[in-house]
């Protein structure tokens, strides 16, 4: 008790500095804030160390390099998406299960600003990326398609979602601009603009339509 009281008195006087304790969760939370504020280029180990008020060397104890940090952030997004996929033994049409899985991935990305940029930037060697691909393949594995066609279908499906969410972020973060294009040579776009269809870009309605179009394309391949 005596030594405890003595230590506390030293802390209060400033004679003893209390070491800041951090963990991976705290580091990742600050990394997501950096990403949301400035995109992928805003993340550096030095900036992150300043955010959590520790030395850069302390970060390297938790993450050996920046790639490890970004890989863990990617894992968080994918794990969130997979947790909302339909159960593998769930009854239902494969089309419905694939659509539900696609929307789960899109919403997991949308919850983290610039998560799509993060996924695009990294090589697809993350174990969780493989797990997600395997889960999606399990949905269509019973279809009468070649393995190559199944692989193409799921790759296109995933890439469409990631690209859509990247465009969604750009579309919804950009400053509104006046329509100053001359459509005299663009009559078809002019008609769509006048109908207000440009405002549907990045909407859930467009996302669902795009996913259903891919699903319809997979179904059409079954008849070839």
> pLDDT tier at 7 (50, 70, 90 boundaries)?
very low
**Is residue 50 domain-shared with residue 71, that is, in the same domain?**
no
**Is residue 129 domain-shared with residue 159, that is, in the same domain?**
yes
pLDDT, tens digit (0-9, with 9 covering 90-100), for 169-221: 877 765 555 555 566 678 888 888 888 888 888 889 999 999 999 999 999 99
**Is residue 106 domain-shared with residue 173, that is, in the same domain?**
yes
pTM summary value? 0.83
> pLDDT tier at 120 (50, 70, 90 boundaries)?
confident
CATH number of the domain enclosing 28: 1.10.10.60
**Is residue 148 domain-shared with residue 207, that is, in the same domain?**
yes
pLDDT of residue 174: 54
| Most confidently modeled range among 13-27, 37-51, 115-129 | 37-51
Q: Which of 16, 42, 64 is the last residue of a domain?
A: 64
CATH number of the domain enclosing 217: 1.10.357.10
Contacts of 63 (CB under 8 A, 6+ apart): 24, 27, 45, 69, 72
* Enclosing domain of residue 118: 67-221
Q: 10-24, 40-54, 64-78: lowest mean pLDDT where?
A: 10-24
pLDDT, tens digit (0-9, with 9 covering 90-100), for 127-177: 888 899 999 999 999 999 999 999 999 999 999 999 999 888 877 765 555
Count up the domains in the chain and report the number.
Answer: 2
**Is residue 207 domain-shared with residue 153, that is, in the same domain?**
yes
**Is residue 120 domain-shared with residue 156, that is, in the same domain?**
yes
**Is residue 12 domain-shared with residue 98, that is, in the same domain?**
no
Q: Which of 34, 64, 94 is the last residue of a domain?
A: 64
**Is residue 41 domain-shared with residue 95, that is, in the same domain?**
no
């Amino acid at each position: 008790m005596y030594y405890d009281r003595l230590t506390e008195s030293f802390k209060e006087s400033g004679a003893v500095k209390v070491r800041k304790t951090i963990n991976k969760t705290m580091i990742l939370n600050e990394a997501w804030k950096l990403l949301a504020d400035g995109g992928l280029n805003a993340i550096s180990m030095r900036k992150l160390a300043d955010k959590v008020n520790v030395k850069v060397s302390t970060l390297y104890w938790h993450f050996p390099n920046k790639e490890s940090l970004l890989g863990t952030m990617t894992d968080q997004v994918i794990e969130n998406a997979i947790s909302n996929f339909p159960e593998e033994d769930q009854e239902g049409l494969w089309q419905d299960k694939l659509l539900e899985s696609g929307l789960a991935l899109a919403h997991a990305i949308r919850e983290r600003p610039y998560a799509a940029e993060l996924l695009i930037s990294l090589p697809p060697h993350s174990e969780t990326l493989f797990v997600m691909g395997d889960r999606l393949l399990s949905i269509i594995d019973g279809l009468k398609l070649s393995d190559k066609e199944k692989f193409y279908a799921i790759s296109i499906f995933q890439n469409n979602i990631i690209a859509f969410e990247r465009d969604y972020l750009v579309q919804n973060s950009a400053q509104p601009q006046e329509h100053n294009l001359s459509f005299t040579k663009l009559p078809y776009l002019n008609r769509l603009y006048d109908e207000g269809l440009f405002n549907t870009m990045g909407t859930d309605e467009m996302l669902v339509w795009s996913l259903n179009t891919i699903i319809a394309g997979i179904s059409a391949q079954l008849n070839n």
